């Protein structure tokens, strides 16, 4: 028959409680760090991925339109030189 040792039970319970407190502190620290990082990033004038992609698409469209206009201008100049 196994006897229960009150001291060991108390130590075991204390360790279990300490692990729970440590886990809670870890989660709290992670939440605090995430909040600090979010505020830091918000203070920097970084753009979101969506904003970056939208501006990149606008720039690509403008380049394509410029190329088309250049081709039309070159064609008009060539026609002028012939005529």
pLDDT: which is higher, 38 or 62:
62
- Show me where the domains of the chain are located: 7-46, 47-83
pTM of the predicted model, to two decimals? 0.46
pLDDT tens sequence across 43-80: 888 888 999 999 999 999 999 999 999 999 999 999 99
Q: Which residue has the tokens 């360790």?
A: 15
Rounded (10°) CA dihedral 32, 33, 36, 42:
-120
Rounded (10°) CA dihedral 40, 46, 50, 52:
-160
The pair of structure tokens assigned to 22 is 């440590």
């Amino acid at each position: 028959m196994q006897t229960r040792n009150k001291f060991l039970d108390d130590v075991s319970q204390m360790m279990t409680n300490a692990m729970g407190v440590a886990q809670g502190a870890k989660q709290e620290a992670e939440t605090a760090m995430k909040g600090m990082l979010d505020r830091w990033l918000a203070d920097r004038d970084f753009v979101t991925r969506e904003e970056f992609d939208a501006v990149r698409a606008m720039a690509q469209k403008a380049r394509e339109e410029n190329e088309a206009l250049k081709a039309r201008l070159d064609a008009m100049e060539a026609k002028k030189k012939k005529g």
